[in-house]
Amino acid sequence: MASKTFIDAIRETLADEMRRDPSVIVLGEDVGKKGGVFLATDGLWAEFGEDRVIDTPLTESMIVGTSIGAAVNGLRPVCEIQFADFIFPAFNQIVSEAARMRYRSNNGYGVPMTIRAPYGGGVHGALYHSQSVEAFFTHVPGLKVVVPSTPYDAKGLLRSSIRDPDPVIFFEHKKMYRSVRGDVPDTDYTVPLGRAAITHPGTQLTVVAYGLMAHYALEAADRVAEEGISVEVVDLRTLRPLDTETLLDSVRKTGKCLIVYEDNRFGGYGAEVAAIVAEEAFDYLDGPITRVAGPDVPGVPYNHVLEEWFMVNPEKIADGIRALAAY
């Protein structure tokens, strides 16, 4: 089994799916000859041609809105928003149109479309190349939201997303593109949407995380293990639909729940996780549900000292674990 980078897994999956299914097309800014600003689509234009790998103008609403139409007329578009920070011009098309098309047409129309978007900070991207925007979309029924953390999951989940009959937003933490490696089989496996993974079994405390934070949670779990704290890490992988079963099973076992996310703390995705745990596992809790999350400032600042201040890291998570474990 080959070890691959996160971005290699994504690029290979796009190529595999385009070979497997002629209805799959890729469109976005610089996705063609250049192969994307992160090279996630490198080689696709050469192999599949300009009909199926389309360099678009700088028009995010058009990228998504046109993908909706193409999906309605028999294609499976995989569109790229160059940075998740730039997804907002397409918000209306995603939320008012893609998410609601099946419901409002009483199952008359569906939108089998995948929107890929690099997100996250820690890469000197400042306010507009660092954002975590998942909470805006996990709020919306009709959308599926996926945030993989390993090359294996990236491949299996991207396959499932492209093959899914409904719109999927697929967030890729850009810091992981080349810093995360992992084993990826050459088989046509899939990872189903809506299934979390226990990536570190433990007994005393559950840490819930996704994306880059799922890695940091593992590092933190290793650190506190030396101090005798046994942590179970739940990597959600899909934020919507949420695998409440795996989440609640873990919390009922450990009795404590810490949620980690990089986005601003207030109203972030972890707030919903906390509410579900409070509603459905209250009797099992031995401490408050707590969060380690990004501070409530409007963006990740550029200066490296300020950026480090903003970013959640393994030590901040370990501190959160220690505080909750001591409760």
Partner 1 sequence: MAVTKRRESHPGEPYGLSDVDLIEMYRLVALARAVDERMWILNRAGRIPFVISGQGHEGAQVGIAWPLRRGHDWIAPFYRSIATCLTFGMSPRDIMTAQYATAADPSSGGRQMPGHYGSPAHNIVSVSSPVATQLLHAVGIALAAKIRRTGQVALTTMGEGSSNQGDVHEGLNFAAIHKLPFVFVVENNGYAISVPAAMQLSVADVADRAAGYGIPGVVVDGADVLACYAASRDAVARARAGDGPTLIEAKVTRLTAHSSDDQQTKYRSAEELVAERGHDALPRFREELREAGVLTDETEARLAAEIKAAVDDATEYAETQPDPDPATATRYVYAETSEGSGASAPSEASR
Please identify every residue annotated as catalytic.
129
The reply on whether position 19 binds partner 1 by CB under 8 A is no
Nearer to partner 1 by Cβ, of 88 and 302: the residue is 88
Q: Which is nearer to partner 1, 109 or 327 (CB)?
A: 109
Using CB under 8 A, which of the segments 207-215, 242-250, 282-290, 314-322 binds partner 1? Answer: 242-250
Out of 30, 37, 43, 61, the residue judged to bind partner 1 by CB under 8 A: 61
CB of residue 221 to partner 1, shortest distance in Å: 25
Cβ atoms of 211 and 147 closer than 8 Å: yes
**CA contacts within 13 A on the Cβ side of 39:** 8
Return the biggest CA–CA distance within the chain: 59
Q: How far is CA 23 from CA 51, 113, 290, in A?
A: 11, 11, 45
Q: Is 304 helix (H, G, I), strand (E, B) or coil?
A: helix
The whole-angstrom separation of Cα 178 and Cα 171 is: 15
Contacts of 250 (CB under 8 A, 6+ apart): 198, 206, 232, 234
User: Which residue, 52, 46, 48, 16, is CA-closest to 34?
Assistant: 46
By CB under 8 A, name the one of 33, 34, 104, 124 that touches partner 1: 104
Which member of 16, 30, 43, 62 binds partner 1 (CB under 8 A)? 62
Examine residue 24 and tell whether it contacts partner 1 (CB under 8 A).
Answer: no
Q: Is 9 in the site for partner 1 (CB under 8 A)?
A: no
Rounded to whole angstroms, the Cα distance separating 197 from 302 reads 33
Decide: is 126 part of the binding site for partner 1 (CB under 8 A). Answer: no
Among 40, 44, 70, 292, binds partner 1 (CB under 8 A): 70
* Binding site residues, partner 1, CB under 8 A: 23, 25, 51-52, 56-57, 59, 61-62, 64-75, 77, 89, 92-93, 96-97, 100-110, 112, 141-142, 144, 159-166, 168, 190, 192-195, 240-245, 276
